[in-house]
Amino acid sequence: MSRKPVIAGNWKMFKTVPEALAFVRDIRQTIVGLEHVQVVLCPPFTALALMSDALRGSGISLGAQNVFWEDKGAFTGEISPVMLKDAGCSYVIIGHSERRQYFGETDEKVNQKIKAILGHALIPIMCVGETLDEREAGVTEKIVRAQTAAGLDGLAPEQVAQMVIAYEPVWAIGTGRTASDEDAQAVIAYIRDIVREQCGAAAAGNARILYGGSVKPGNTAGLMSKGDIDGALVGGASLKVESFAEIIKKTSEAKR
Ligand code: 13P
Protein backbone atom coordinates (compact mmCIF):
# COMPACT_ATOMS: atom_id res chain seq x y z
CA MET A 1 0.00 0.00 0.00
CA SER A 2 1.56 3.28 -0.99
CA ARG A 3 0.89 6.20 1.31
CA LYS A 4 2.04 9.71 0.43
CA PRO A 5 4.49 10.77 3.14
CA VAL A 6 3.68 13.86 5.19
CA ILE A 7 6.18 16.29 6.69
CA ALA A 8 4.35 18.69 8.96
CA GLY A 9 5.95 21.63 10.73
CA ASN A 10 4.40 22.50 14.08
CA TRP A 11 5.58 26.03 14.79
CA LYS A 12 3.97 26.08 18.24
CA MET A 13 3.97 29.64 19.67
CA PHE A 14 6.71 30.94 17.37
CA LYS A 15 6.82 33.47 14.50
CA THR A 16 5.11 36.77 13.91
CA VAL A 17 3.28 37.33 10.62
CA PRO A 18 6.29 38.96 8.86
CA GLU A 19 8.53 36.11 10.04
CA ALA A 20 6.02 33.54 8.80
CA LEU A 21 5.76 35.19 5.39
CA ALA A 22 9.53 35.40 5.03
CA PHE A 23 9.74 31.66 5.77
CA VAL A 24 7.14 30.90 3.09
CA ARG A 25 8.98 32.98 0.51
CA ASP A 26 12.22 31.09 1.19
CA ILE A 27 10.84 27.57 1.51
CA ARG A 28 8.95 27.91 -1.78
CA GLN A 29 12.25 28.41 -3.56
CA THR A 30 14.05 25.68 -1.65
CA ILE A 31 11.77 22.66 -2.06
CA VAL A 32 10.80 22.90 -5.70
CA GLY A 33 10.35 19.47 -7.31
CA LEU A 34 9.61 17.42 -4.20
CA GLU A 35 5.97 16.81 -5.08
CA HIS A 36 5.67 13.33 -3.68
CA VAL A 37 6.02 14.54 -0.09
CA GLN A 38 2.99 16.35 1.35
CA VAL A 39 4.36 19.33 3.23
CA VAL A 40 2.14 20.98 5.86
CA LEU A 41 2.92 24.15 7.82
CA CYS A 42 1.08 24.76 11.09
CA PRO A 43 1.73 28.35 12.22
CA PRO A 44 -0.01 30.23 15.03
CA PHE A 45 -3.61 31.27 14.24
CA THR A 46 -2.58 34.88 13.60
CA ALA A 47 -0.50 33.93 10.55
CA LEU A 48 -2.97 31.52 8.91
CA ALA A 49 -4.89 33.76 6.53
CA LEU A 50 -1.92 35.63 5.08
CA MET A 51 0.12 32.44 4.86
CA SER A 52 -2.71 30.83 2.94
CA ASP A 53 -2.39 33.56 0.30
CA ALA A 54 1.39 33.29 0.26
CA LEU A 55 1.29 29.49 -0.17
CA ARG A 56 -1.07 29.52 -3.15
CA GLY A 57 0.27 27.36 -5.97
CA SER A 58 3.15 25.99 -3.87
CA GLY A 59 1.68 22.55 -3.12
CA ILE A 60 2.35 23.21 0.58
CA SER A 61 -0.73 22.79 2.77
CA LEU A 62 -1.72 24.83 5.77
CA GLY A 63 -2.68 23.46 9.17
CA ALA A 64 -3.79 24.85 12.53
CA GLN A 65 -2.52 23.72 15.92
CA ASN A 66 -5.86 23.49 17.70
CA VAL A 67 -9.59 24.04 17.22
CA PHE A 68 -12.82 24.18 19.19
CA TRP A 69 -15.61 21.76 18.29
CA GLU A 70 -18.53 24.18 17.89
CA ASP A 71 -19.11 26.03 14.59
CA LYS A 72 -19.85 29.34 16.31
CA GLY A 73 -21.18 30.76 19.55
CA ALA A 74 -20.34 32.50 22.81
CA PHE A 75 -16.98 30.77 23.41
CA THR A 76 -14.59 33.61 24.09
CA GLY A 77 -11.10 33.00 22.79
CA GLU A 78 -11.91 29.91 20.74
CA ILE A 79 -11.58 29.28 16.98
CA SER A 80 -14.03 27.07 15.07
CA PRO A 81 -13.52 24.59 12.22
CA VAL A 82 -15.51 26.94 9.95
CA MET A 83 -13.02 29.73 10.71
CA LEU A 84 -10.05 27.47 10.01
CA LYS A 85 -11.49 26.51 6.63
CA ASP A 86 -12.16 30.16 5.95
CA ALA A 87 -8.52 30.97 6.74
CA GLY A 88 -7.32 28.36 4.22
CA CYS A 89 -6.49 25.38 6.45
CA SER A 90 -6.75 21.80 5.36
CA TYR A 91 -5.14 20.11 8.41
CA VAL A 92 -5.52 20.55 12.19
CA ILE A 93 -3.20 19.18 14.87
CA ILE A 94 -5.37 17.68 17.61
CA GLY A 95 -4.35 16.48 21.06
CA HIS A 96 -0.72 17.56 21.03
CA SER A 97 0.92 16.55 24.30
CA GLU A 98 1.44 20.23 25.19
CA ARG A 99 -2.32 20.74 24.95
CA ARG A 100 -2.96 17.62 26.98
CA GLN A 101 -0.40 18.70 29.60
CA TYR A 102 -1.07 22.47 29.92
CA PHE A 103 -4.66 22.93 28.71
CA GLY A 104 -6.52 19.95 30.10
CA GLU A 105 -7.17 18.27 26.78
CA THR A 106 -8.62 14.81 27.43
CA ASP A 107 -9.12 11.87 25.08
CA GLU A 108 -12.84 12.74 25.00
CA LYS A 109 -12.15 16.31 23.91
CA VAL A 110 -9.69 15.06 21.30
CA ASN A 111 -12.40 12.78 19.91
CA GLN A 112 -14.97 15.58 19.92
CA LYS A 113 -12.60 17.89 18.03
CA ILE A 114 -11.74 15.21 15.48
CA LYS A 115 -15.41 14.59 14.77
CA ALA A 116 -16.04 18.33 14.41
CA ILE A 117 -13.25 18.94 11.92
CA LEU A 118 -13.92 15.82 9.84
CA GLY A 119 -17.45 17.19 9.46
CA HIS A 120 -15.87 20.20 7.73
CA ALA A 121 -13.55 18.14 5.53
CA LEU A 122 -10.46 19.14 7.51
CA ILE A 123 -7.84 16.44 8.11
CA PRO A 124 -6.88 15.76 11.73
CA ILE A 125 -3.30 15.15 12.75
CA MET A 126 -4.05 13.30 15.97
CA CYS A 127 -1.15 13.14 18.42
CA VAL A 128 -0.57 10.28 20.83
CA GLY A 129 2.43 9.32 22.95
CA GLU A 130 3.67 8.27 26.37
CA THR A 131 5.57 10.27 28.99
CA LEU A 132 9.00 9.27 30.28
CA ASP A 133 7.48 7.82 33.47
CA GLU A 134 5.08 5.75 31.41
CA ARG A 135 7.85 4.47 29.14
CA GLU A 136 9.98 3.53 32.13
CA ALA A 137 7.03 1.79 33.74
CA GLY A 138 6.67 -0.28 30.57
CA VAL A 139 3.17 0.95 29.75
CA THR A 140 3.85 2.64 26.37
CA GLU A 141 1.55 0.25 24.49
CA LYS A 142 -1.24 0.61 27.03
CA ILE A 143 -1.09 4.42 26.81
CA VAL A 144 -0.99 4.68 23.03
CA ARG A 145 -3.77 2.08 22.78
CA ALA A 146 -6.01 4.06 25.12
CA GLN A 147 -5.31 7.39 23.39
CA THR A 148 -5.70 5.97 19.87
CA ALA A 149 -8.86 3.97 20.61
CA ALA A 150 -10.55 6.90 22.36
CA GLY A 151 -9.51 9.39 19.67
CA LEU A 152 -10.97 7.23 16.89
CA ASP A 153 -14.11 6.28 18.78
CA GLY A 154 -17.26 6.45 16.66
CA LEU A 155 -15.48 7.41 13.41
CA ALA A 156 -16.32 5.75 10.10
CA PRO A 157 -13.50 3.68 8.55
CA GLU A 158 -13.50 6.01 5.49
CA GLN A 159 -12.86 8.97 7.80
CA VAL A 160 -10.02 7.21 9.59
CA ALA A 161 -8.47 6.29 6.22
CA GLN A 162 -7.95 10.01 5.52
CA MET A 163 -6.47 10.81 8.90
CA VAL A 164 -2.94 11.50 9.98
CA ILE A 165 -1.82 10.16 13.36
CA ALA A 166 1.41 11.33 14.97
CA TYR A 167 3.25 9.20 17.50
CA GLU A 168 5.13 11.69 19.66
CA PRO A 169 6.76 10.22 22.76
CA VAL A 170 6.58 13.11 25.20
CA TRP A 171 10.13 12.51 26.45
CA ALA A 172 11.47 13.07 22.92
CA ILE A 173 9.77 16.44 22.35
CA GLY A 174 12.19 19.36 22.41
CA THR A 175 14.73 17.31 24.37
CA GLY A 176 17.10 16.23 21.61
CA ARG A 177 16.32 12.61 22.55
CA THR A 178 14.74 10.67 19.71
CA ALA A 179 13.16 7.25 19.85
CA SER A 180 15.43 4.80 18.04
CA ASP A 181 14.32 4.01 14.49
CA GLU A 182 13.35 0.53 15.68
CA ASP A 183 11.36 1.74 18.70
CA ALA A 184 9.52 4.34 16.63
CA GLN A 185 8.71 1.74 13.95
CA ALA A 186 7.52 -0.76 16.60
CA VAL A 187 5.13 1.65 18.31
CA ILE A 188 3.84 2.98 14.99
CA ALA A 189 3.22 -0.56 13.71
CA TYR A 190 1.38 -1.20 16.97
CA ILE A 191 -0.77 1.91 16.42
CA ARG A 192 -1.54 0.67 12.90
CA ASP A 193 -2.67 -2.65 14.42
CA ILE A 194 -5.03 -0.78 16.75
CA VAL A 195 -6.47 1.12 13.77
CA ARG A 196 -6.90 -2.21 11.94
CA GLU A 197 -8.71 -3.84 14.88
CA GLN A 198 -10.98 -0.86 15.39
CA CYS A 199 -11.57 0.40 11.85
CA GLY A 200 -10.51 -2.35 9.43
CA ALA A 201 -7.69 -3.07 7.03
CA ALA A 202 -8.42 -0.30 4.51
CA ALA A 203 -8.33 2.41 7.19
CA ALA A 204 -5.12 0.98 8.65
CA GLY A 205 -3.53 0.72 5.23
CA ASN A 206 -4.35 4.28 4.23
CA ALA A 207 -3.99 6.35 7.42
CA ARG A 208 -0.62 8.10 7.53
CA ILE A 209 1.20 7.61 10.84
CA LEU A 210 4.06 10.01 11.57
CA TYR A 211 6.83 10.10 14.12
CA GLY A 212 7.49 13.28 16.11
CA GLY A 213 10.04 14.22 18.75
CA SER A 214 13.41 15.85 18.03
CA VAL A 215 13.30 15.03 14.31
CA LYS A 216 16.33 16.68 12.68
CA PRO A 217 18.03 16.42 9.26
CA GLY A 218 20.52 13.98 10.80
CA ASN A 219 18.01 11.39 12.03
CA THR A 220 15.41 11.68 9.25
CA ALA A 221 16.81 9.11 6.82
CA GLY A 222 16.94 6.38 9.48
CA LEU A 223 13.42 7.00 10.72
CA MET A 224 12.01 7.25 7.19
CA SER A 225 13.66 3.97 6.16
CA LYS A 226 11.03 2.22 8.30
CA GLY A 227 7.99 0.93 6.45
CA ASP A 228 5.29 2.03 8.88
CA ILE A 229 6.66 5.54 9.46
CA ASP A 230 4.91 7.75 6.92
CA GLY A 231 6.60 11.04 7.72
CA ALA A 232 7.25 13.36 10.62
CA LEU A 233 5.71 16.05 12.79
CA VAL A 234 8.58 18.45 13.30
CA GLY A 235 8.83 21.12 15.99
CA GLY A 236 12.10 23.01 16.48
CA ALA A 237 13.68 21.99 13.16
CA SER A 238 10.65 23.29 11.24
CA LEU A 239 11.38 26.87 12.30
CA LYS A 240 14.41 27.23 10.00
CA VAL A 241 14.08 26.89 6.25
CA GLU A 242 17.41 25.03 5.91
CA SER A 243 16.68 22.28 8.42
CA PHE A 244 13.03 21.86 7.41
CA ALA A 245 13.90 21.67 3.71
CA GLU A 246 16.61 19.11 4.47
CA ILE A 247 14.11 16.93 6.37
CA ILE A 248 11.72 17.11 3.41
CA LYS A 249 14.50 16.23 0.97
CA LYS A 250 15.69 13.26 3.04
CA THR A 251 12.13 11.99 3.37
CA SER A 252 11.63 12.28 -0.35
CA GLU A 253 14.79 10.22 -0.97
CA ALA A 254 13.91 7.57 1.64
CA LYS A 255 10.33 7.09 0.42
CA ARG A 256 10.98 7.22 -3.31
P1 13P B 1 10.52 18.95 18.51
O2 13P B 1 10.74 18.54 17.08
O3 13P B 1 10.97 20.35 18.80
O4 13P B 1 11.04 17.93 19.46
O5 13P B 1 8.93 19.01 18.74
C6 13P B 1 8.17 17.92 18.34
C7 13P B 1 6.75 18.28 18.40
O8 13P B 1 6.19 18.48 19.47
C9 13P B 1 6.02 18.43 17.13
O10 13P B 1 4.65 18.50 17.35
Protein residue with its CA nearest to atom 7 in ligand 1: 235
Decide if 105 is inside a domain: yes
SS3 232: strand
Residue 11 alpha carbon to ligand 1 centre in Å: 9
Assess whether the C-beta atom of 240 lies below 6 angstroms from ligand 1. Answer: no
> Atom of ligand 1 at shortest distance to CA of 127?
10
Q: What is the pLDDT of residues 107-119, one digit of tens each?
A: 999 999 999 999 9
Residue 215 alpha carbon to ligand 1 centre in Å: 7
Decide if 147 is inside a domain: yes
In this predicted structure, what is the pLDDT of residue 5?
Answer: 98
Decide if 27 is inside a domain: yes
Residue 230 alpha carbon to ligand 1 centre in Å: 16
Other C-beta atoms lying within 10 Å of the C-beta of residue 242:
12
Low-confidence ranges of the chain (pLDDT < 70): 1
Q: For the whole model, what pTM was predicted?
A: 0.97
In this predicted structure, what is the pLDDT of residue 1?
Answer: 58
Q: What is the pLDDT of residues 29-49, one digit of tens each?
A: 998 878 899 999 999 999 999
> Is 120 labeled as catalytic in the residue annotation?
no
Question: What's the whole-number average pLDDT of the chain?
Answer: 97
In this predicted structure, what is the pLDDT of residue 32?
Answer: 80
Whichever domain contains 185, its CATH number is 3.20.20.70
> Is 168 labeled as catalytic in the residue annotation?
yes
Amino acid, res. 7: I
Q: Strand runs (DSSP E) across the chain, as ranges?
A: 6-10, 38-42, 61-64, 91-94, 123-128, 164-167, 208-212, 231-234
Number of folded domains that form the chain: 1
In this predicted structure, what is the pLDDT of residue 150?
Answer: 98
**Do 18 and 53 meet the contact criterion of CB atoms below 8 Å apart?**
no
Residue 208 alpha carbon to ligand 1 centre in Å: 18
Decide if 1 is inside a domain: no
Measure the CA–CA gap between 36 and 255, rounded to whole angstroms: 9
Catalytic-labelled residue, pool 98, 105, 130, 168: 168
Range of the domain at 80: 6-255
Closest CA to 228 of 244, 200, 202, 206: 206
Q: What is the pLDDT of residues 117-149, one digit of tens each?
A: 999 999 999 999 999 999 999 999 999 999 999
Assess whether the C-beta atom of 248 lies below 6 angstroms from ligand 1. Answer: no
In this predicted structure, what is the pLDDT of residue 151?
Answer: 98
